[in-house]
């Protein structure tokens, strides 16, 4: 079944004590999606206690209580959600599942019949009929969650080095310009339940510059991910197809596969490990980028008092079609080690601040002809950033961002720096 409480974990993490009701609700969904049901319950309860009183909130409280085997609380929450006509069918179905698990067959039959009466989709009717027709009690499936999620953002600002669009782009020149940045993301679960199923996503990102039009960048991506939660472990495998362009010319086309496992490590801590493999075909103007990229990421995230934090370590290795040049080779096949940390802190009821930093070391396998001899390239890139987020209500947020990057390289022509700042308006629908 589609879901009410889901979102790609790249955007939100555990809730904060000082968050607004909408922020607490959003953080509860992120914790739920990561399988951290205790944190999700705490976040949803803070949203409720802060004044949020919607059928979706009560439905998600019911789903969370169900996963924690708190059947009485789950039943009460689903009963509240069932007052909304659009949720009555699935809420009654889930009350039937609660009654089945609680060994109350008569109550379960009552709720399954109510689900048939109030169902708004054929899928809910099918589930209710199957439950009513069962000749013996089966192990109940976890409740399902209806509804897609979507994110849209438009931003404007200034970039001191627009040549750096696309992380693998060979051009490391330096030129500044204003920018307009557009981002659209959508995520829907067409199959499955809260514990296992299939997610489909799509992404569109475009950056435009009024003067440096040769650095105009756009990227489109679509993919599918299968996931399940078993014995506390969240597991997923997926694949995606993406294409990036510069000024309309192909930069790269990539087919990617990934797998990830994760689990809660306590009430406020979560750990995960992800592996990705990408097969890359570059455009004609960017020789040398064809090949394969691997990356392995370990992540810890959690809460400390009313703040959220995240720490990543990434190992990346590449096998690209490097280019012979003079007596050397221009290589695009580095091995990279990177660390990244992020801290988010509420400043007022509607304002949140965040800072992040990263350090990445890259070493290339071949020696390059610099004109003064052969030199093996190695880079050390440092980055710092800050963000302010103001919750405007109704799913809207206003953001201000500032990011600084500095790359030191053993070869002079690969040294660069960048300062990029701007403001943005974001809309998040769930």
404-411 mean pLDDT: 93
**Does the pLDDT value for residue 225 go beyond 80?**
yes
Q: Which H helix or E strand runs over 169?
A: none
What's the confidence (pLDDT) of residue 2? Answer: 38
What's the confidence (pLDDT) of residue 167? Answer: 52
Question: In this predicted model, which residue has the larger pLDDT, 401 or 83?
Answer: 401
What's the confidence (pLDDT) of residue 251? Answer: 85
The neighbouring-strand residues paired with 306 are none
Q: Which H helix or E strand runs over 288?
A: none
- Sequence-ordered list of residues with C-beta below 8 angstroms from that of 47, at least 6 positions apart, any chain: 21, 22, 24, 25, 28, 57
pLDDT band at 105 (very low <50, low <70, confident <90, very high): confident
pLDDT digits (tens, 9 = 90+) for 43-94: 899 989 888 888 889 999 999 999 998 998 999 999 998 888 888 889 999 9
pLDDT digits (tens, 9 = 90+) for 149-189: 899 999 999 999 988 765 555 455 568 999 999 999 999 98
**Does the pLDDT value for residue 8 go beyond 50?**
no
Give the burial class of 249: count Cβ atoms within 10 A of its Cβ; 0-12 exposed, 13-18 middle, 19 or more buried.
exposed
Contact of 385 with 401, CB cutoff 8 Å: yes
- Sequence-ordered list of residues with C-beta below 8 angstroms from that of 283, at least 6 positions apart, any chain: 245, 249, 250, 251, 252
Domain 21-133 shares a fold with domain 149-429: no
Per CATH, the architecture of 149-429 is what?
Beta Barrel (2.40)
What's the confidence (pLDDT) of residue 420? Answer: 96
- Sequence-ordered list of residues with C-beta below 8 angstroms from that of 203, at least 6 positions apart, any chain: 183, 184, 185, 186, 219, 220, 221, 222, 242
Output the average pLDDT for the chain.
85
pLDDT band at 24 (very low <50, low <70, confident <90, very high): confident
Contact of 2 with 123, CB cutoff 8 Å: no
pLDDT digits (tens, 9 = 90+) for 196-208: 889 999 999 999 9
SS3 string, 122-155, reads HHHHHHHHHHHHCCCCCCCCCCCCCCCEEEEEEE
Q: Domains of the chain: which residue ranges?
A: 21-133, 149-429
Domain 21-133 CATH class label? mainly alpha
Cα–chain-centroid distance for residue 45?
Answer: 23
Q: Which two tokens stand for residue 11?
A: 């955007």
256-283 mean pLDDT: 91
91-101 mean pLDDT: 88
What's the confidence (pLDDT) of residue 144? Answer: 52
What's the confidence (pLDDT) of residue 165? Answer: 62
**Does the pLDDT value for residue 334 go beyond 50?**
yes
- In whole angstroms, give the CA distance from residue 397 to residue 103: 45
Question: In this predicted model, which residue has the larger pLDDT, 25 or 164?
Answer: 25
Question: In this predicted model, which residue has the larger pLDDT, 306 or 273?
Answer: 273
Q: Which two tokens stand for residue 244?
A: 């990036």
- In whole angstroms, give the CA distance from residue 430 to residue 418: 35
Q: Which two tokens stand for residue 370?
A: 């610099």
Within a 10 A sphere around the Cβ of 362, how many other Cβ atoms? 19
109-115 mean pLDDT: 86
What's the confidence (pLDDT) of residue 305? Answer: 80
What's the confidence (pLDDT) of residue 407? Answer: 93
What's the confidence (pLDDT) of residue 15? Answer: 35
What's the confidence (pLDDT) of residue 319? Answer: 92
Q: What are phi and psi of 321, to 5 degrees?
A: -85, 80
Between β-strands 233-246 and 249-264, what pairing exists: parallel, antiparallel or unpaired?
antiparallel
Cα–chain-centroid distance for residue 191?
Answer: 19
Angle at 379 between CA 364 and CA 217, to 5 degrees: 90
Contact of 140 with 105, CB cutoff 8 Å: no
Q: Tell how many helices (H) and how many strands (E) occur in the chain.
A: 7, 16
Least confident of 51-60, 269-278, 333-342: 51-60
């Amino acid at each position: 079944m589609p879901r009410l409480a889901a979102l790609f974990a790249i955007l939100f993490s555990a809730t904060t004590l000082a968050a607004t009701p909408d922020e607490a609700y959003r953080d509860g969904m992120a914790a739920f999606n990561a399988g951290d049901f205790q944190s999700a319950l705490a976040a949803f309860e803070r949203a409720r206690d802060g004044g949020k009183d919607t059928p979706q909130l009560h439905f998600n409280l019911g789903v969370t209580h169900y996963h924690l085997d708190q059947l009485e609380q789950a039943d009460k929450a689903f009963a509240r959600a069932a007052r909304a006509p659009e949720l009555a069918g699935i809420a009654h179905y889930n009350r039937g599942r609660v009654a089945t698990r609680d060994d109350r067959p008569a109550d379960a039959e009552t709720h399954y019949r109510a689900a048939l009466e109030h169902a708004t989709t054929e899928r809910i009717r099918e589930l209710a009929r199957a439950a009513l027709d069962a000749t013996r009690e089966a192990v109940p499936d976890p409740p399902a969650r209806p509804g897609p999620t979507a994110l849209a953002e438009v931003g404007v600002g200034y970039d001191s080095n627009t040549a750096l669009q696309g992380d693998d782009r060979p051009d490391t020149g330096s030129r500044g310009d204003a920018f307009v940045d557009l981002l659209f993301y959508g995520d829907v679960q067409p199959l499955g339940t809260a514990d296992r199923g299939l997610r489909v996503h799509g992404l569109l990102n475009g950056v435009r510059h009024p003067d440096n039009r040769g650095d105009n960048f756009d990227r489109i991506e679509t993919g599918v991910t299968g996931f399940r939660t078993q014995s506390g472990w969240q597991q997923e495998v997926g694949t995606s197809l993406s294409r990036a362009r510069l000024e309309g010319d192909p930069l790269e086309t990539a087919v990617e596969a990934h797998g990830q496992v994760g689990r809660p490590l306590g009430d406020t801590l979560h750990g995960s490990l992800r592996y990705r493999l990408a097969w890359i075909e570059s455009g004609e103007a960017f020789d040398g980028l064809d090949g394969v990229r691997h990356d392995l990421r370990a992540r810890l995230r959690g809460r400390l008092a009313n703040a959220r934090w995240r720490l990543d370590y990434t190992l990346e290795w590449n096998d690209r079609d490097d280019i012979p040049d003079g007596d050397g080779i221009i290589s695009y096949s580095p091995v990279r080690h990177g660390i990244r940390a992020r801290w988010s802190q509420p400043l007022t009821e509607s304002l949140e601040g965040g800072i992040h930093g990263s350090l990445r070391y890259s070493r290339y396998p071949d020696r390059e002809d610099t004109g003064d001899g052969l030199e093996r390239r190695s880079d050390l890139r440092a980055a710092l950033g800050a963000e302010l987020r103001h919750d405007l209500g109704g799913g809207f947020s206003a953001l201000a961002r500032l990011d600084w990057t500095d790359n030191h390289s053993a070869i002079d022509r690969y040294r660069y720096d960048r300062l990029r700042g701007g403001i943005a308006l974001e809309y998040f629908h769930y």
